[in-house]
Amino acid sequence: MKLYFHGHNYKYAAEQMLLTLFPGQRPEYPNGPPGAGEDGLVLSLHLGARQATATAALTWEGRTCRKTRRCPLPDPGDKVARDRAFQHILKLAFYSAGTTLLGAEPPWGALTGVRPVKIPTKAMLAGASPRQAERELREVYRVSPLRRRLALDCAKASLAALDSLAADQVSLYVGIPFCPTRCAYCSFVSADVGRSLKLIDPFLDALSREIRAAGAALDAAGLRVRTVYFGGGTPTTLSAPQLDRLMGELADHIDLSACTEYTVEAGRPDTITAEKLAVLARRGCGRISVNPQSMSDAVLAAMGRAHRAEDILRAYALARESGIPVVNMDLIAGLPADSPEGFRASLDRVLELGPENVTVHTLALKKGSRLMDGAPNKGKALVGERTSGGMSEFSRKQGNEGYKAREDEEDGSAIPSGEAVAAMLDYAWGALRAAGQRPYYLYRQKYMSGSFENVGWCRPGTESLYNICMMEELHTIVSLGGGGVTKLVDRRAGHIRRTANPKFPKEYIEHIGALCAGKAGALRFDGTE
């Protein structure tokens, strides 16, 4: 879509809303003026004596709509406040014009960020009641009723987590960038272990060095580890002796006396054995994931999984026999070859097993994944229609980037439509609440099917503190291993600084000396950067 700016140059704000309303479009910035009747947006900002006015003149498929939004002028000396206020009204003007022409609204309304829970959390921290926070989501951001309820439930969990944290506590993430095979939807940098087996031991040698350096840096900074999370990749791609070595190194060189939560993503059922689970249990792991993504063999085959539903049941039984108290299971709504009926059957089967946590993801077409590389229907608009339940159904006559079902697929591997994904999620929320689960964290991603979300559900009392802290950025996350991103969080100043480890195992190994040398400095943060 062609974008024209007058009185400002807030490209990011415009591009965020463009992605929300028209995910198949990419921004273009022509040199000349708009052509008569061409599709495009003229987004203007005018500063008056007391207020700022944003105007969006949008032309789409032969129709034009003009909308304005205003706000009081912020203090001229507060650049951050001015930028925030101006971008906000520009996005709302664009949103109002876009939804008027589309005749519908996305489920998250005008919210464009990946962390919508931060809005009600911030409001309640400032003294707002849940009802007042809900009103802001409704009246300012036009969020649908169901999404408002999800956001408020997760905000309450975030506030409870925040109350439990001490100022000197951090979380620790350990990234293991290896998987048995790569799934079709995955964009994580992880090495196929079949082709990278020779890298595992050198990777673990390097990781051991980083663990020692991190332990010394944490001690010097006076920081204590509250939660530990092994992610990836698939950490249980490692053998039982390799896991034992790694977890032993962690216990020997990092003080875990304040740790109340230790999680390992077992994830892929084809990597789970009784021997590995015994190591995890003996080393103090209290939470694992057994992630089917689907309980349908046809869907598992379509996304490149080597296991089948029977293997998931076997792995889950082993997890229960291990005595590890909390098990999470992931499902994905919108996978190739799936249907609302198939997704319901998968969720029902998972709930029959009785895991403490269930995470329902929505398929996101990520750059670098096989699905994104082959996504059809480029350049269309995202269209949502409100229903009585507050869900969003997506127009049959307008597709969007990769989300419209591919009716020409003869092998049955079509990506479900936005309408189908909405039906999956609609069923999930009702079934999970009926099973005694409640939502406790959520986040959104770009190119997500139907512009929906990922939601973590749990039985009361089994929330993952790490997931809340990481998604809501409640405190510092110290990351080790391949692709780990350390987030230094200064809540008082409102600053976050990120430092990333190399993503690929080979690069991580090659740069381990510099990583270890800089570990102490990486944990110093005065909130000014």
Could you tell me if 232 and 333 lie in one domain? yes
Could you tell me if 308 and 178 lie in one domain? yes
Confidence of residue 372 (pLDDT cuts 50, 70, 90): very low
Could you tell me if 67 and 214 lie in one domain? no
Could you tell me if 97 and 171 lie in one domain? no
Cross-strand pairs, 65: 58
Could you tell me if 179 and 314 lie in one domain? yes
> Between 2 and 402, whose confidence is greater?
2
Helix axes 309-322, 340-353, angle to 10 degrees: 20
Locate all alpha helices (DSSP H) within 165-267, ordered by sequence: 193-221, 240-253
Locate all alpha helices (DSSP H) within 10-78, ordered by sequence: 11-21
Q: Give the highest mean pLDDT range of 7-11, 184-188, 304-308, 367-371.
A: 7-11
What integer pLDDT is reported at residue 403 of this predicted model?
Answer: 38
Cα 270 → chain centroid: 25
Residue 495 belongs to a domain: no
What integer pLDDT is reported at residue 337 of this predicted model?
Answer: 94
Lowest mean pLDDT among 34-43, 109-118, 188-197: 188-197
User: Considering only CA atoms, which of 113, 122, 149, 146 is closest in space to residue 134?
Assistant: 149
What integer pLDDT is reported at residue 45 of this predicted model?
Answer: 98
pLDDT, mean of residues 45-62: 96
Locate all alpha helices (DSSP H) within 262-381, ordered by sequence: 274-282, 297-302, 309-322, 340-353, 370-373
Model confidence at 120: pLDDT above 70: yes
Enter the DSSP assignment of 491: T
Confidence of residue 515 (pLDDT cuts 50, 70, 90): very high
Buried b or exposed e, range 126-156, using 16+ CB within 10 angstroms: eeeeeeebbebbeeebbbbbbbbbbbbbbbb
Could you tell me if 318 and 174 lie in one domain? yes
Model confidence at 366: pLDDT above 60: no
Could you tell me if 176 and 271 lie in one domain? yes
> Between 283 and 394, whose confidence is greater?
283
Model confidence at 249: pLDDT above 70: yes
Q: What is the pTM of this model?
A: 0.87
Q: In what order do the strands lie in the sheet with 357-362?
A: 438-443, 454-458, 357-362, 326-333, 287-290, 261-267, 224-232, 169-176, 477-481, 485-490, 495-500
Q: What is the pLDDT of residues 138-187, one digit of tens each?
A: 999 999 999 999 999 999 999 999 999 999 999 999 999 998 765 544 54
What tokens were used for 521? 């400095």
CA distance 80 to 56: 23
User: Considering only CA atoms, which of 60, 2, 11 is closest in space to residue 30?
Assistant: 2
What integer pLDDT is reported at residue 492 of this predicted model?
Answer: 84
Could you tell me if 78 and 173 lie in one domain? no
Model confidence at 527: pLDDT above 70: no
Residue 486 belongs to a domain: no
What integer pLDDT is reported at residue 196 of this predicted model?
Answer: 65
CA distance 156 to 250: 32
What integer pLDDT is reported at residue 394 of this predicted model?
Answer: 31
CA distance 358 to 438: 10
Cross-strand pairs, 229: 173, 263
15: domain CATH number? 3.30.160
Q: Give the highest mean pLDDT range of 381-395, 396-410, 422-436.
A: 422-436
What integer pLDDT is reported at residue 412 of this predicted model?
Answer: 52
Locate all alpha helices (DSSP H) within 103-170, ordered by sequence: 118-125, 130-139, 145-164
Residue 177 belongs to a domain: yes
What tokens were used for 103? 């005749």
Q: What is the mean pLDDT of the chain?
A: 87
Could you tell me if 222 and 322 lie in one domain? yes
Residue 458 belongs to a domain: no
Lowest mean pLDDT among 140-144, 390-394, 487-491: 390-394
Percent above pLDDT 70 for the chain:
86
Lowest mean pLDDT among 60-64, 258-262, 519-523: 519-523
Model confidence at 213: pLDDT above 50: yes
What integer pLDDT is reported at residue 9 of this predicted model?
Answer: 96
245: domain CATH number? 3.20.20.70
What are the CA-CA distances from residue 413 to residues 102, 122, 298, 303, 408 (Å)? 29, 42, 9, 9, 10
Q: Which amino acid is at 42?
A: V
pLDDT, mean of residues 452-468: 96
Range(s) of the domain holding residue 47: 1-103
Place of tokens 């789409």: 60
Q: Which amino acid is at 291?
A: N
What integer pLDDT is reported at residue 36 of this predicted model?
Answer: 85
C-alpha dihedral (393, 396, 397, 402), degrees to nearest 10: 80
Q: What is the pLDDT of residues 250-302, one digit of tens each?
A: 999 999 999 999 999 997 898 999 999 999 999 999 999 999 999 999 999 98
Number of domains in the chain: 2
Choose the final residue of a domain: 103, 127, 156. 103
Cross-strand pairs, 443: 454
- DSSP string for 9-26: --HHHHHHHHHHH-TT--
Residue 487 belongs to a domain: no
Please provide residue 274's backbone torsions phi and psi, each rounded to the nearest 5 degrees.
-60, -35
Could you tell me if 325 and 182 lie in one domain? yes
Residue 21 belongs to a domain: yes
Model confidence at 119: pLDDT above 70: yes
Q: Which residues have C-beta within 8 Å of that of residue 131, sequence separation ≥ 6? A: none
Could you tell me if 176 and 292 lie in one domain? yes
> Between 409 and 64, whose confidence is greater?
64
Residue 278 belongs to a domain: yes
What are the CA-CA distances from residue 82 to residues 49, 75, 77, 130 (Å)? 14, 7, 9, 27
| Cβ 474 vs Cβ 162: under 8 Å | yes
| Cβ 444 vs Cβ 113: under 8 Å | yes
CA distance 100 to 66: 9
Choose the final residue of a domain: 86, 103, 120. 103
Model confidence at 459: pLDDT above 90: yes
What integer pLDDT is reported at residue 188 of this predicted model?
Answer: 46
Q: Is residue 258 classed as helix, strand or coil in its secondary structure?
A: coil
Could you tell me if 179 and 324 lie in one domain? yes
User: Considering only CA atoms, which of 306, 309, 276 is closest in space to residue 295?
Assistant: 309
Choose the final residue of a domain: 83, 103, 123. 103
What integer pLDDT is reported at residue 175 of this predicted model?
Answer: 95
Please provide residue 309's backbone torsions phi and psi, each rounded to the nearest 5 degrees.
-60, -35
Residue 451 belongs to a domain: no
